[in-house]
């Protein structure tokens, strides 16, 4: 399952009867939270577990899963696998919270179609492409698509939140990345929560995944 558990006798893994039931994905070396089970695909010092979250998870009965500036680092195929794994690992009524760069904000702030200065338009070309491909980014999300993705993968009560705000105490004030801003009516990151229901239609999930494959994934997979 592409994971290795760090030997830490002072902390119980989520599968332990008294284990930590909150998992932070893609925590990196600087955002480790003491009351969460912190996982990353890289073996940073201090994390609890090295884990590829696009592969089947070893957990069940989780209460919360959180990922900040994480989803955009996965391919769309990887994001679908991740969200399906989270859904299966959470208990009914468990909640996922994600923050990811806003496609609308990038478009509205990074390229001015009315700009007449050629050098500024060139600079904007680089700026736009950095947003899509820099820092390991693989896919940026619009609000509508993020809502559709979660709804069609079986999530309920999908809500978009303000920075640091949530109806869930465990998710309040949890963001660590600063520089949150709103320009041209759009936040620079979408912060979204979804609740796992009691069940979902696996056939509907599969049909939606086939639609995404036809609309986008197959073009990326082809390589040309």
**Closest-CA residue to 177 (of 70, 34, 58):** 70
Q: Which CATH number fits domain 65-222: 2.60.40, 3.40.1000, 3.40.50, 1.10.3470?
A: 3.40.50
Q: What pLDDT does 224 receive?
A: 66
**Closest-CA residue to 212 (of 160, 155, 139):** 139
CA distance 80 to 68: 17
Q: What is the pLDDT of residues 59-70, one digit of tens each?
A: 999 999 999 999
Per-residue pLDDT tens, the chain, 224 aa: give them.
334 334 444 689 999 999 999 999 999 999 999 999 999 999 999 999 999 999 999 999 999 999 999 999 999 999 999 999 999 999 999 999 999 999 999 999 998 888 899 999 999 999 999 999 999 999 999 999 999 999 999 999 999 999 999 999 999 999 998 889 999 999 999 999 999 999 999 999 999 999 999 999 999 987 76
| Start-to-end CA span in the chain (Å) | 31
Q: What pLDDT does 114 receive?
A: 87
Give strand ranges (E) for the chain: 3-5, 22-25, 37-40, 49-51, 62-68, 90-101, 155-160, 182-183, 186-187, 189-196
CA distance 191 to 66: 11
Q: What pLDDT does 221 receive?
A: 84
């Amino acid at each position: 399952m592409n994971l290795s558990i760090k030997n830490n006798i002072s902390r119980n893994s989520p599968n332990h009867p008294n284990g930590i039931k909150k998992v932070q994905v893609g925590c990196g070396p600087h955002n480790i939270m003491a009351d969460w089970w912190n996982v990353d695909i890289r073996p940073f010092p201090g994390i609890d577990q090295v884990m590829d979250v696009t592969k089947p998870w070893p957990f069940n009965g989780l209460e919360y899963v959180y990922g900040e500036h994480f989803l955009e680092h996965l391919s769309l195929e990887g994001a679908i696998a991740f969200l399906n794994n989270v859904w299966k690992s959470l208990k009914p009524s468990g909640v996922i919270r994600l923050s990811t760069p806003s496609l609308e904000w990038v478009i509205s702030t990074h390229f001015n179609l009315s700009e007449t200065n050629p050098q500024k338009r060139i600079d904007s070309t680089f700026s736009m492409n950095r947003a899509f491909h820099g820092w390991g980014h693989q896919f940026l999300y619009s609000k509508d698509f993020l809502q559709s993705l979660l709804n069609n993968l079986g999530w309920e009560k999908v809500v978009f939140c303000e920075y640091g705000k949530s109806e869930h105490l465990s998710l309040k004030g949890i963001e660590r990345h600063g520089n949150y801003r709103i320009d041209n009516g759009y936040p620079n990151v979408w912060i979204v929560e979804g609740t796992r229901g009691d069940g979902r239609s696996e056939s509907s999930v599969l049909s939606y995944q086939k639609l995404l494959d036809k609309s986008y994934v197959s073009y990326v997979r082809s390589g040309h």
